[in-house]
Amino acid sequence: MRRTAQSILVEHGRITWIRPTDAEEDSGPASSRQLIDSRGLTAVPGMVDAHCHLTSPGGKRYIERFSDPPRQLIETAESNGSLARQSGAAWLRDAGSPTVTDPVGGQRRALALGIRDRWASRDDRPRVKAAGTWIAAPGGLESGLGLVVRDADELVAAAHLQLDQGADLVKLYVESRRGHDSPWTAAEIRRVVEAVHGRGAKVTAHAMWLKTARAAILGGVDAIEHGFHLDSDACAEMARRGTYLVSTLIVPRNWLRLGTTTSGSFWSTRAGKRYARNILAAGEESVAIAGQRGVRIAAGTDFGGGSPRAGQLAWEVESLVIAGMQPWQALGAATWRGGDLLGIANAGRISEGGPADFFLVDGDPLSDPSALWNVARLA
Ligand SMILES: [Zn+2]
């Protein structure tokens, strides 16, 4: 909802009141407050990047970079966190990081978990919910990064291990060695979902293809990541179950950009460009169908785990609008929908008594989403 000519009083990091500018309440003596002239600016709720990877920089070698030395991965995360925060992101949902020995905390587990803990008390970083390390079938995650499980028993055990090590959610990498089939049946996925739900956590599934998404949806996962090839039946089932779609349309958009700005990679070949164009077209179609069917859509960048960079959530909002969503819906996907996905009541919302997690942009993102790039100030 758009409201014009409003004043917001912030005290100690929380919103005390929101009033029409011509009917402000007493905000105390002038000497004790700082007046921010925000005429022409729009206050936007702190955004939620619902799918990203703190420890990789994205770019052309985005997968290889997860194998950087742990200290380098942490430096990358610091840079990503700063960029994301400055772009208006208040929350990040890390969708997978490598298991290494944390050079700061000393624990051997998914590296984003320690970064999450250390950022929790820092105003210059977003808050984080993190998935631990990807859980994959043999050959499903080519890079060797994931925790590889051979059967359904190992799948459940791997999920418990991630939760034991402090993961907020469990990430299943539903991808086969070849072809677009799911490596696990819906029944096998249901077993791991029940185990994780039993511990009060959530399960999400990387599922790019229709068959992998179908197995994950019927298995009861809480969200489908990417979902580039959903059909009407799959979306109807997601809507019925309340399964989220986490969109990452800027991944294929960024592949296309790499194809024109770099050389010597798959993305600059004709086959690479065709692949990226096909994924983008299918992904836009999926978002359109999901929207029509009433699926809850949250927006992600996939920075680090795809070639996009930290701080590019505005681009995903623009991409959702190109795919047919209204600007208010697309902005909702990048704010309160992401907050609901995280289960954080105040995330992505501006409300009296809530945290002052908002930022000011030059322009009106409800009529022109590109205004989100024009960050004038963080609250
Ligand atoms: Zn990802």
Cα(124) to centroid(ligand 1), Å? 23
Q: What is the pTM of this model?
A: 0.97
Cα(180) to centroid(ligand 1), Å? 17
Cα(52) to centroid(ligand 1), Å? 6
DSSP state of 140: T
Cβ 277 vs Cβ 256: under 8 Å: yes
Residue 4, classed as helix, strand or coil, is: coil
Cβ 317 vs Cβ 325: under 8 Å: no
Q: What is the pLDDT of residue 208?
A: 97
Cα(227) to centroid(ligand 1), Å? 12
Residue 246, classed as helix, strand or coil, is: strand
Cα(65) to centroid(ligand 1), Å? 13
Please list, in sequence order, all residues whose beta carbon lies within 8 angstroms of the beta carbon of residue 154, skipping any fewer than 6 positions away. none
Instruction: Indicate the angle between helix axes 210-218 and 186-197, nearest 10 degrees.
Output: 50
Cα(51) to centroid(ligand 1), Å? 6
Q: Tens digit of pLDDT for each residue in 342-356?
A: 999 999 999 999 999
Q: How far apart are CA 354 and CA 119, in angstroms?
A: 20
CATH number of the structural domain 47-349: 3.20.20.140
Q: Tens digit of pLDDT for each residue in 229-249?
A: 999 999 999 999 999 999 999
The pLDDT tens digits along the chain (379 residues) read 788 899 999 999 999 999 999 888 888 887 888 999 999 999 999 999 999 999 999 998 998 999 999 999 999 999 999 999 999 999 999 999 999 999 999 999 999 999 999 999 999 999 999 999 999 999 898 777 899 999 999 999 999 999 999 999 999 999 998 889 999 999 999 999 999 999 999 999 999 999 999 999 999 999 999 999 999 999 999 999 999 999 999 999 999 999 999 988 899 999 999 999 999 999 999 999 999 999 999 999 999 999 999 999 999 999 999 999 999 999 999 999 999 999 999 999 999 999 999 999 999 999 999 999 999 999 8
Cα(305) to centroid(ligand 1), Å? 4
Cα(362) to centroid(ligand 1), Å? 30
Cα(353) to centroid(ligand 1), Å? 34
Please list, in sequence order, all residues whose beta carbon lies within 8 angstroms of the beta carbon of residue 222, skipping any fewer than 6 positions away. 169, 202, 203, 204, 243, 244, 341
Cα(134) to centroid(ligand 1), Å? 9
Cα(183) to centroid(ligand 1), Å? 18
Cα(123) to centroid(ligand 1), Å? 25
Cα(209) to centroid(ligand 1), Å? 14
Our CA dihedral for 281, 171, 310, 361, rounded to 10 degrees, sits at: 80
Cα(96) to centroid(ligand 1), Å? 7
Cα(301) to centroid(ligand 1), Å? 8
Nearest to 286 by CA among 216, 332, 233, 215: 233
